Amino acid sequence: MLTRIDHIGIACRDLDTTVAFYRATYGFEVHHTEVNEEQGVREAMLRINGTDDGGASWIQLLEPIREDSPVAKWLAKHGEGVHHIAFGTADVDGAAQAVGARGVRVLYDEPRRGSMDSRITFLHPKDCHGVLTELVTAAQDAPGHGEHG
């Protein structure tokens, strides 16, 4: 059902400083940045492996853009650090339904838009031994991708 680690989400106070650390320390380059208004974050994606066509794993650096956002709340309580882990799947709808049927709280009725046009949902950390867990279908992994253009 889950085929890989898609990304590790890391909460940071200042995205530019954190990106600079990852570049200077490990040589990572930023592959993509975006603001996700709904999620209340500005984010940078650093690719670890895979290609633009799929199979990639990422470090997702997250800076809050609003005080009432999940990442801002997390930072205030815990400080910087690992915020969530995201498992990749070709079928986020099916995976969420299956996990939900096993008694884990799925936070969204329908998957929402994530980085790079992925579709994402979250599982409640209290039902996952303290780990905020994201399920994600990357745009490239979605059924039918590439068939229409």
Closest CB to ligand V0V among residues 32, 147: 32
Interacting stretch for Co ion, rule CB under 5 A, among 2-10, 51-59, 102-110, 141-149? 2-10
Stretch in the footprint of ligand V0V (CB under 6 A) among 21-29, 94-102, 119-127, 139-147: 119-127
Considering only residues 76 to 105 of the shown chain, the ones binding Co ion according to CB under 5 A are 86
Q: How far apart are the first and last CA of the chain?
A: 27
Spatial CB neighbours of 47, under 8 Å, sequence gap ≥ 6: 28, 31, 56, 57, 58
CA–CA gap between residue 89 and residue 86 (Å, rounded): 10
106 binds ligand V0V (CB under 6 A): no
**β-strand partners of 47:** 58
Helix (H) or strand (E) holding 4: strand 4-11
Q: Is 60 in the site for ligand V0V (CB under 6 A)?
A: yes
**Complex with Co ion: residue 116 or 148, whichever CB lies closer:** 116
